[in-house]
Amino acid sequence: MLYHHTQTGVVIIMAFVCAIAIVIAISISAPTSLPISAYITIIAIALLCLSIFARLTVQVTPNMVETHFGFGLLSRQFSLIEIDAIKCVRNPWYYGWGIRLTPDGWMYNVSGLDAVQLQLASGKRFRIGTDEPEQLKSAIDRAILAISD
């Protein structure tokens, strides 16, 4: 493996923890407003989303760029031979976090505004949010150079 990095989305974690705390507070202060099963379902969904979207892992192998959220349920892989160009970019704040379709293509991001944009041979673009944009770009550049030799 040429590169491996996991970024934690602290703001995402805090938002889900606050949401769960609010649901628990409401269930205690107004227990008859909804059945207990509704509160449990809401909390379970929030915990599932938290486990999926709290971390983003990016790996560069000798043949692929791989990204996945949390425990790997949501992932994308790109063969190095399908990548035409790579550049470090800064996302506007309103692109947000998570999985997004932006004017610049699909984006995976858990925190911050920095990303690496992959321009694919198909013409599509994909942004990978990262707190290490230069290191990620460099690893992809090295991997592409190694397969073209």
Q: Supply the pLDDT for residue 50.
A: 94
Choose between 136 and 32: higher pLDDT.
136
105 pLDDT higher than 80:
yes
Per-residue b or e along 5-14, where b marks 16 or more CB atoms closer than 10 Å to that residue's CB: eebebeebbe
When pLDDT is cut at 50, 70 and 90, the band that residue 16 belongs to is very high
When pLDDT is cut at 50, 70 and 90, the band that residue 33 belongs to is confident
- Rounded Cα gap, residues 21 and 100, in angstroms: 27
- Rounded Cα gap, residues 109 and 63, in angstroms: 22
DSSP letters of 101-130? Answer: EETTEEEEESSSSEEEEEEETTS-EEEEE-
Percent of the chain with pLDDT over 70: 100
Q: Which H or E run includes 56? A: strand 55-60
55-76 pLDDT tens trace: 999 999 999 999 999 989 899 9
What does pTM read for this prediction? 0.90
In this prediction, residues 90-107 reach a mean pLDDT of 96
32 pLDDT higher than 80:
no
Q: Supply the pLDDT for residue 34.
A: 85
Q: Supply the pLDDT for residue 148.
A: 80
* CATH class of this structure's domain 57-148: mainly beta
117-131 pLDDT tens trace: 999 999 999 999 999
89 pLDDT higher than 90:
yes
